[in-house]
Amino acid sequence: MVFVLGFSAILVRLVVLQVADASAYQDLAQAQRGRVISVPAPRGSIFDRDLHELAMSLPAKAVFVDPALVRKPMQVARTVAGVLDLSPAKVYAAVTAAEGRFVYLARGVEVETAERLKDMKLPGIGFLDETRRYYPAGDVASQVLGFVGVDGTGLEGLERQYDSLLAGREGHAQVEEDPNGRMIPQAVRRDDPPVPGRDVVLTIDQDLQYRAQVSLERAVRTNKARGGTVIVMDPKTGDVLAMATYPWFDPNDFSAASSEEWRNRAVTDAFEPGSVNKVIMAAATLELGLVTLDQRFNIADEIDVFDRTYRDVHSHPMQQMTLADIVAQSSNVGAITVANLLGDQMLASYLYEFGFGKPTGIGFPGESPGILAPAEEWWGTTLASISIGHGVAVTALQMAGVYATIANAGVSIRPRLVRGTVEDDGAFAPSPPSPSRRVVSEDTAAAVTRTLSYAVQVGTGGEAEIPGFWVAGKTGTAQKPLPNAPGYSDKYVASFIGITPASDPALVVAAVLDEPETKYGGVAAAPLFQEVARFALALLRVPPAPKPPPPPSASPVGLG
């Protein structure tokens, strides 16, 4: 009887364990030997406009440790640190961690290195498949591309801007391990596969970008400048063909550079443009019919505006100047005289229409809108200062956009860095055309182009001339404001922004040098423009175009 009762009790308990509590114990067993791991999605590549790969993902391994399985922590720490070139102290801290069964030791380890460590069969050391980001062109377009962190997340540049598109969606895998942390091959494995990221095709031309960087670095060194920027744009599409900022960095080793070197200053940093801004004064007054190309003004070499005296760079007697002469000779007094015809509200309105005081719409992380105070906040000398490029701040991209508007017959095209994406089936999906809007009439744009061409032929932009092509452009020399006090320093920004061919524009090139030893834009920046534009014309096989008709001038020889 006792035997029967005992057997019955055991039978009842077995029924409870195998039927009533089966699910609970199955879950407990699964929790003891099972683990869910993340399966990273292959990150999309970034290509230049001709499908040269600028950013790609290579197979790699993540190395982790389960501290509970490590038997000889000091020995394991020294071995792992030696193979992975890590700090033994940090590895030891990880392998002796009191909490958790999973601690990363290294991410993005090259497969060969990880396999060498794996062959040592160290208890508690495990490996996961992942990828590491690689930039085959090194520092080419590094500030445009940006970089990703160890977890594969975009941290700077286009890698950040298009992170959700490039990253895809990670998957998950549920695996089972034995007590020593080894995978159980026969165990049931449930997978949620990752979704690969999309490839992105840029407007950047790798060859032109490289050449622009070579030329920019040489110009910075030659002029003993602090840094510089070059932008090459197609004014008809808004495509940015090259965008370089010196100094740059190698995104394959981004931690070796400073955060200042990571910044794409062409988009994120605003500066007072100086005389390159006179193009807006010229366009606005022509568009409103306040001046004509053959109108003559009596211009002295200085002018008093409220409590300040503005002067031309070079002393000269009272002389007659047309609008073309004012632009060609970069006369501050002439620009202020003409701008006074506009008034505060109208000049502010045209500055805004040309893109000042607001982002360009390119969407780049950290883009600066620049600085443009509302006309209601202008006071005695504001109009005079802004008409010659002071008291207002713009990015190099904004300023290039102004000249692109003139080059595109008065129509502003939003700049863009992405031509399209690559679909899952490998087909190219072009981005929609950039939105456009008219700023000034075609006739006004043509008249301004004539004055800018004249400025290169006989004015301050002579060093920008390209044999066989006509260039329309303007120099800029702007004194830099003091960083933490009112007033200006003894440092300058020198620039030249030009259009070529002048009568059938195909390119806009902006060349900006920060704190060059030779402060004048015509001396420091115009040769940089010439070198970059000349290469771009040849690379893109742009044919020459006829010489634009010269504008009326009060002086048949200009500056000579």
136 pLDDT more than 90: yes
12 pLDDT more than 70: no
Cross-strand bridge partners of residue 475: 496
Compute the average pLDDT of residues 127-146. 93
Catalytic pick among 142, 275, 412, 503:
275
pTM value is 0.87
**Exposed, middle or buried: residue 393 (CB in 10 Å: 0-12, 13-18, 19+)?**
buried
Place of tokens 């002029």: 223
At 281 the three-state DSSP class reads helix
pLDDT of residue 423: 85
pLDDT of residue 40: 72
> In this structure, what DSSP letter does residue 551 have?
P
Residues 6+ apart with CB under 8 A from 547: 453, 470, 502, 503
Region class of 525: left (phi > 0), else alpha (psi between -120 and 50), else beta: alpha
Domains parsed from the chain with CATH numbers: 37-168+186-201 (3.90.1310.10), 206-539 (3.40.710.10)
95 pLDDT more than 90: no
pLDDT of residue 176: 61
pLDDT of residue 557: 46
Q: How far apart are CA 185 and CA 180, in angstroms?
A: 14
Mean pLDDT score of the chain: 89
Burial code of 280-296, b = ≥16 C-beta within 10 A, e = fewer?
A: bbbbbbbbeebbebeee
The model's confidence at residue 558, banded by pLDDT at 50, 70 and 90, is very low
Q: How far apart are CA 390 and CA 479, in angstroms?
A: 8
pLDDT of residue 404: 98
The model's confidence at residue 68, banded by pLDDT at 50, 70 and 90, is confident
**Where is pLDDT greater, at 560 or 80?**
80
7 pLDDT more than 60: no
CA-to-CA separations, 393 to 243, 323, 335, 388, 389, in angstroms, rounded: 19, 24, 18, 12, 8
pLDDT of residue 182: 52
Inter-residue contact 410 to 286 (CB < 8 Å): no
| Residue 234 identity (one-letter amino acid) | D
Task: Provide the token pair at 214.
Answer: 């070579």
Minimum mean pLDDT range among 70-74, 267-271, 332-336: 70-74
Burial code of 438-450, b = ≥16 C-beta within 10 A, e = fewer?
A: ebbeeebbbbbbb
Q: How far apart are CA 465 and CA 547, in angstroms?
A: 12
| Residue 258 falls in the annotated catalytic set | no
Q: Report pLDDT digits (tens) over 426-449.
A: 899 999 999 999 999 999 999 999
Compute the average pLDDT of residues 177-187. 53
Pairing assessment for the beta strands 199-202 and 46-47 based on DSSP bridges: parallel
Task: Provide the token pair at 263.
Answer: 């910044």
> In this structure, what DSSP letter does residue 245 have?
E
Compute the average pLDDT of residues 494-510. 97
Residues 6+ apart with CB under 8 A from 192: 39, 171, 172, 173
pLDDT of residue 559: 35
30 pLDDT more than 90: no
Q: Report pLDDT digits (tens) over 50-61.
A: 999 999 999 888
The model's confidence at residue 560, banded by pLDDT at 50, 70 and 90, is very low
46 pLDDT more than 60: yes
List helix spans (H) across 425-509.
Answer: 442-458
Count Cβ atoms below 10 Å from residue 477 Cβ, excluding itself.
24
pLDDT of residue 359: 97
The model's confidence at residue 15, banded by pLDDT at 50, 70 and 90, is low
Task: Provide the token pair at 219.
Answer: 């110009």
H or E element: which one contains 149? none
Q: How far apart are CA 475 and CA 336, in angstroms?
A: 17
Minimum mean pLDDT range among 87-101, 382-396, 450-464: 87-101
Compute the average pLDDT of residues 232-242. 98
Q: How far apart are CA 91 and CA 124, in angstroms?
A: 13
Q: How far apart are CA 245 and CA 511, in angstroms?
A: 10
**Where is pLDDT greater, at 417 or 69?**
417
Q: Of all residues in the chain, what percent carry a pLDDT higher than 90?
A: 72
